[in-house]
Structure 1
C-alpha cells in the first residue's frame, strides 16, 4: 500500500476515479442542484457553460465549484455520482486551503489532512488494537481492513475535553473524499489519516484555521509523545524545493586513503535517508566543523600571524568581522582549502541544483546564489564565499532554536517547517563539501 509521507512528492495529481457507481441522475441535473445550493451563498459559485462532449471515457467539459475567498480554490465535478460529496461542501463547507482542511460551521467540525511518517502511525495504530502484537502486522490483510474500517467509523486516538462527550474533541479519521476532491490529492487508501476537530465555535475562516493549528498541533505533539507517531498538519508551502535526488558516483575501489573516523561516522549519519533532513544537515555540517582547527592553523601559517585572532578569512569580509576567531570565517577557511573555484562551478552546472540555490523563496533569510538573469550561473564567478555564507546561514537558523528567532532575528528553521522539507538541494551541496573536506585531509594508507 502506498502511503502519503513527508518524502512522497506525488501528492498533487488530479483525483480521477472512473469507478463511480452508476449515477441516478443526469450530469445536468447534478449541476443544476449545485447551482441552486451555491445561489444561497456569496462565497461559492458554480461555473458551467452547459456544453459537454464525450471523449471516450467521460463527459467533458466539467462544471467547476469555485471558492473566490479561499484563494480561488476550485474543484471539478467529473461525474454526477460525485454529487453527494459536492452537496455537502457547497451547502455548508468552508475550505481552509493553507492547511488542506474543511470547516463545517453548522456542525462545528474541522477536518484537515495530515502528512508525516505513516509507517510510524500504522505501527501505533496496530499497538492500540493489539497491545501484545510482537511481529510486524500485515496491513494488506484482514487486520488492515479492520483498521481502515475503524478509522472510517469510530476513528482512532480519540480525546475529549469532557468525559461525557461534550465540548471539544479530537480524533484521527480516514481522509474524507471531500478533502481529496477539493484539493486534488490522492488520499492513499483507508489507512491515510486526517485529524478531526469537533466542538469548534468560531465566527470566521481565519479563526477556524487558528483553532485548527492551535489544537491540532498540540494534539499531534501529544500523539508523538505517547505513541511515537510522527504526523503534522499540511502547510501550503510544502511544494517548494528541488525534487532531484542526490547523485552518487557508484564506483567503489580498494581503499588507498585513510579518512578520519569521526567525520566518516558523521558523514554516514548524514547519508541516512531515514533521518530528518534537519538532522542530516547538521551531521554534514559537523564534518566541516571537525576540520576547522586544521584550516585555521593553515591560514595562520600562510598569513604569518601570531594566532587566529590576527588571521583573516580567505574571503573578503568586513574588517571587524573577518577574524578567524569567528566560526563563519573558520568555515570559509575549510571551504577554501577543500574545494576550488572550478570544483564549485562544475557542481553548479546542474541546472536543477543551481535553480534551487538561487531561488530566495525556497530557503529564505539566507544567502542565495546570484544568476545571470536567465537562471544560469555567472561566468567565471567564484561562488565559494556565497556558498559558505549560505551554509552557515542555514546552520544558524537551525541551531539557534530560541523563541523569537536566532542571530539578528532570523526566523527559526524548525523541524516541521516547509523549509525543512525543502532542504534537498542544500543537503546535496553540503554533502559534496563534506566529501571534499574529508578527501582534503585524508592520508595515504600503507
Structure 2
C-alpha cells in the first residue's frame, strides 16, 4: 500500500544539493530576509542559532520557519536556494495543514496536495493529452518528460465557472516546491499532481478550507467519473500516499453540485485499480451504506410513522419483515430514491452486463436477474428490488468472514476465489448505484 511520511526532517537528507537552483545570496542573508518578512506576521517565527555551513553547521542547525498559528507546520531552510519558495509562503501564504494545502488570500488561490492511485492519473493524463497513445508511458522517457512539462506549465483537466462571473477555476498541476517544503512531500517523479483552486474569496482560513473541501471533493468526484482517476484531498487521518473496464466520459465540467466528502473519498478509493476487486466492491457499497440513515428518514416522513422500525421497505419482501430496522430494507430505500426504473432499464440494455447478472453460475448464492427467455430483460420490468437483493447478498458473502461460512451456511466470497475474479459486472453495477446515490443527495454549490 501507499505510505506517506509524516513531518520527518530526515526526508530531506535524501535530496541532492542541486535539487534547487544555485543560491545567489549567503545562507545568513537568506535567514535575515525571512526574519524581516516573518516580523510582519504574528503566526510565523524563524528559529536559528546563527551557525553557518563554514562554521560546521549540521542539518539540525538549519533555520526553521514555524507557523505557530496553523497547527505547527514548519519549513527547514536547507539551502539559500530555497529562499524564493519560502518567501512566497511566508509573505502571502496561509497553511491549511489539515488538507496539506496553502491559501494565498491576495491571489485568491489554494494549492492542495492529492493522494491516490497515481498510475490511474497517469493513464487519464495520457488519454486526455495523447488520445492515440496505445502503450503505457515510460515516465522516465521523453514522453513522460513531455507530460510532466505540460502538467507543470499549463496543468490538466481545467474547468472554470463562467456563468456567475466568480472567476473560479480548478485544475491539476504538478506539486509546487513551496507545498513540498511546507509538508515534506516527495515530488513523485514530476507527475504527482496537486489541486489548484482559483477565485477563492474567504474571510479566514477555516472558510477557505471549507471552500477547498466543497469544490475540491466535487471536482475530484467528477474527475473520477469522467477519467477514472482515483485521487483525493489529503486528510490528516491518512497513512496513504503515492505508489507505483469501465468506459469513461471525456467531459469534465466545473462543479455545480456539492457531494458529501466521505462518500466521494470512498468512491475514489473504489476506483483504485490496484485494489483487490473485493475491496473495490466494498468501497462502493460503503457509499450506499452512508446514505441509509437519510433514506430511512425520508421513508419515515413519507409513510407518516413515528419510528424507523415502523416504516417499511418500498419493495415487497415476501417471507420476511419489511421494517427499515433491517439494513437490507434500508438499502431498498436508498436504491428506490436514488435510481428510477427507467434508469436501471437503460443500464441493463448493455447485453453483456445483463447476461452476467442473470447467470447464476457467475456469482452463486445471490439473486439473479430474470430474463424474458431469450436472454433479454423483461419488457417493462422493474429490476430495482432484484438488484438490491443481489447487492446485499454479495455484501453478506464478503463481510461475514467467519469460519464455516456466512448466514445459513452460505459460502464466503473469499479474496482468492474464482468469484472474486468475476466481480467485474457487479463492480460496474454497485459503482453505478453509488454514483446515483451521491448525485441524489448532492446539494447546489453557492
- Corresponding residue for residue 290 of structure 2: 401
* Cα gap change, 1:163 to 1:231, in 2 (>3 Å): same
CA distance in 1, matches of 2:62, 2:74: 12
Counterpart mapping for 1:72-83 below 5 A: 72-83=72-83
Could you tell me whether the CA contact under 8 Å between 2:28 and 2:52 is conserved in 1?
A: no
1:128 aligns with 2:128: yes
Secondary structure at 1:87's aligned position in 2?
helix
How far the C-alpha of 1:138 sits from its partner, in A, is 2.3
In the alignment, the residues of structure 2 paired with residue 278 and residue 208 of structure 1 have an alpha-carbon distance, to the nearest angstrom, of 37
Report the Cα distance in structure 1 between the residues aligned to 2:38 and 2:187, rounded to whole angstroms. 26
Contact 1:15 1:181 (C-alpha < 8 Å) held by counterparts: no
- The Cα of 1:141 is off from its aligned counterpart by 1.2
Deviations 1:66-98 (A, max 9, x none): 111111111111111111111001000000000
Call closer, same or farther: CA 1:281–1:122 in 2, change over 3 Å. closer
Q: Is the 8 A contact 1:15 1:180 kept in 2?
A: no
Q: Which residue of 2 aligns with 1:29?
A: 29
Counterpart in the other structure of 2:186 = 186
The number of equivalent residue pairs is: 276
Distance 1:220 1:59, change over 3 A: closer
Q: Distance in 2 between matches of 1:194 and 1:398?
A: 25
| 1:120–1:12 CA distance, 2 compared to 1 (3 A) | farther
Which residue is 1:218 aligned to? 218
The CA deviation at 1:142 is 1.0
CA contact (8 A) 1:15 1:185 kept: no
Work out whether residues 138 and 144 of structure 2, in 8 Å CA contact, stay in contact via their aligned partners in 1: yes
> What's the offset of the Cα at 1:280?
6.3
- Measured in 2, the distance between the counterparts of 1:137 and 1:56 equals 45
**Offset from partner CA, 1:217-270 (integer Å, 9 cap, x none):** 111111111111111100011139xxxxxxxxxxxxxxxxxxxxxxxxxxxxxx
Match of 1:437 in 2: 404
Aligned residue in 1 for 2:236? 236
Pairwise mapping of residues 254-403 of structure 1 onto structure 2 (< 5 A)?
A: 274-275=274-275, 279=279, 282=282, 400-402=289-291
Return the alpha-carbon distance in structure 2 between the equivalents of residues 228 and 397 of structure 1: 19
Unmatched tracts of structure 1, length 5 or more: 1-5, 241-271, 284-395, 409-429
Kindly state the Cα deviation for residue 203 of structure 1 after the two structures are TM-superposed. 1.2
Contact 2:3/2:239 (<8 A) preserved: no
- State the 1:276 CA deviation: 6.0
TM normalised by structure 1 equals 0.55
Rate the CA distance shift 1:195–1:68 in 2: closer, same or farther, 3 A. same
Deviation at 1:10, TM superposition (A): 4.8
Moved more, 125-134 or 56-65: 56-65
| CA distance, structure 1, for counterparts of residue 132 and residue 210 of structure 2 | 39
**Structure 1 residue 159, shift from structure 2 partner:** 0.5
Q: Distance in 2 between matches of 1:398 and 1:154?
A: 34
Residues 317-372 of structure 1 show CA distances to partners (whole Å, capped at 9, x for unaligned) of xxxxxxxxxxxxxxxxxxxxxxxxxxxxxxxxxxxxxxxxxxxxxxxxxxxxxxxx
TM-score under structure 2 length normalisation: 0.55
Q: 2:12: which partner in 1? A: 15
Kindly indicate whether the alpha-carbon contact (under 8 Å) linking 2:63 and 2:77 is maintained by their aligned counterparts in 1.
yes
Distance of aligned partners of 1:151 and 1:71 in 2 relative to their CA distance in 1, 3 Å threshold: same
| Higher-helix-fraction structure | 2
- Structure-1 residue corresponding to 2:47: 47
Q: Tell me which structure has the larger Cα radius of gyration.
A: 1
SS in 2 for 1:111: strand
In structure 2, the CA distance between the partners of 1:150 and 1:434, relative to structure 1 (3 Å rule), is: same
Partners of 2:135 and 2:194 lie apart in 1 by 26
CA drift of 1:436 comes to 3.9
Please give the secondary structure, in 1, of the residue aligned with 2:232: strand
Aligned equivalents of 1:437, 1:25: Cα separation in 2:
71
SS of match in other structure, 2:194: strand
Q: Distance in 2 between matches of 1:36 and 1:73?
A: 19
For 2:286 and 2:143, how far apart are their aligned partners in 1?
A: 43
Q: Distance in 1 between matches of 2:152 and 2:287?
A: 38
Query: CA–CA distance in 1 between the matches of 2:221 and 2:74?
Result: 32
- Contact 2:121–2:229 at 8 Å: present in 1 too? yes
CA-CA distance at 1:402 after TM superposition: 1.8
Task: Classify the secondary structure of the residue corresponding to 1:437.
Answer: coil
Are the equivalent residues in 2 in contact too, given 1:53–1:59 (CA < 8 A)? no
Change (3 A) 1:276 1:101: farther
Q: Are residues 1:154 and 2:154 paired?
A: yes
